[in-house]
Structure 1
Amino acid sequence: MKRTAEFVMGLIAGIVGILCGFSGVLFGGIAESLQVDGAGVVSTASWVAIAISVLGIIGAAIIKSKTALGSLFMIVAAIVGFICISFFYTVPAVLFLIAGIMGFARKNKSGVAA
């Protein structure tokens, strides 16, 4: 079954998530240069969010062949990314979550859920 909507949403979420992660790294770096307490945590969490966004892109790429695994990757990316950098990751988290739920909920032509 074509899963173009899930693929496109996952791809957009991954790209936006990577950009959000890099903005978190930027703000963390600025805070470190200003010697703000806890700035290193922000940078580290942002790098984790970038890695998780790549996992979400992988999930989007495999959603057509392995629907359950791809959907799981995107849902995990939504949850972990939001935990890492919360507000910065809101848009990618919502997109990953919607795409992941769509992957699990949409039925194949045979009438059986993925």
Structure 2
Amino acid sequence: MKRNTEFVLGLLGGIFGFIAAVFALFMGSIDEAINGSSSLGSLGVSAILASIVAIVGSVVVKFKPKVGGIIMLVAGIWGIISVSFFYILSTVLLVIAGLMGLLVKNKNAKKSNKTIEV
């Protein structure tokens, strides 16, 4: 049940994603003030939702690594589609954590399969 690396990477990805989404909202409001309309604000809201999903995925990876890994991968791709450049660092962290959740085997599972011969 350790999975601390995946948890920390996913949590950092979610936090940095939240910061990037707030920055995208800020840039969208500036663009709306100058040009009259902007879609960056609604995409920033979408990125905030992706960041929340990423944080949920980082918690889930402690108990169900494969499900948490898939959730973090989806959140990383969702965020990069939403606000592109602003979400790059978060996407890298979330994809690494998601792949680790999917691919790294649990050490306790290997130990429990061994039989003891006397």
- Residue 97 (structure 2) pairs with residue 99 (structure 1): yes
Looking at structure 2, the residues matched to 30 and 87 of structure 1 have their Cα atoms a distance apart, in angstroms, of 17
Q: TM-score, normalised by structure 1?
A: 0.91
SS of structure 2 residue aligned to 1:5: helix
TM-score of the pair, normalised by structure 2 = 0.88
Q: Which runs of 5+ in 2 are unaligned?
A: 111-118
Q: Give the letter for the 1:89 counterpart.
A: Y
The answer to whether the aligner puts 1:14 opposite 2:32 as a matched pair is no
> What displacement does 1:68 show?
1.3
1:19-58 equivalent positions in 2, closer than 5 A = 19-35=19-35, 39=38, 41-58=39-56
Q: CA deviation at 1:78?
A: 0.6
Whole-Å Cα distance in 2 between the matches of residues 29 and 46 of structure 1?
10
Alignment of 1:53-92 (within 5 A): 53-92=51-90
Partners of 1:16 and 1:95 in 2: CA distance: 9
Letter in 2 for 1:2: K
- What letter corresponds to residue 84 of structure 2 in structure 1? S
Distance 1:23 1:108 in 2: 37
Runs of 4+ in 1 over 4 A off after TM superposition: none
2:114 alignment counterpart: none
Q: Greater Rg, structure 1 or structure 2?
A: 2
Identity, in percent, stands at 39
Instruction: Give the secondary structure class of the aligned counterpart of 2:47.
Output: helix
The Cα shift of 1:95 comes to 0.2
Q: SS in structure 1 opposite 2:62?
A: coil
The alignment's C-alpha RMSD in Å is 1.0
Superposed CA deviations along residues 60-107 of structure 1, whole A, max 9, x for unmatched, are 011111111111110001101001111000000000000000001110
Tell me the distance in 2 between the aligned counterparts of 1:25 and 1:64: 31
Give 5+ residue unaligned stretches, structure 1: none
Structure 2 distance, partners of 1:107, 1:66, is: 12
Equivalent residue pairs, number: 109
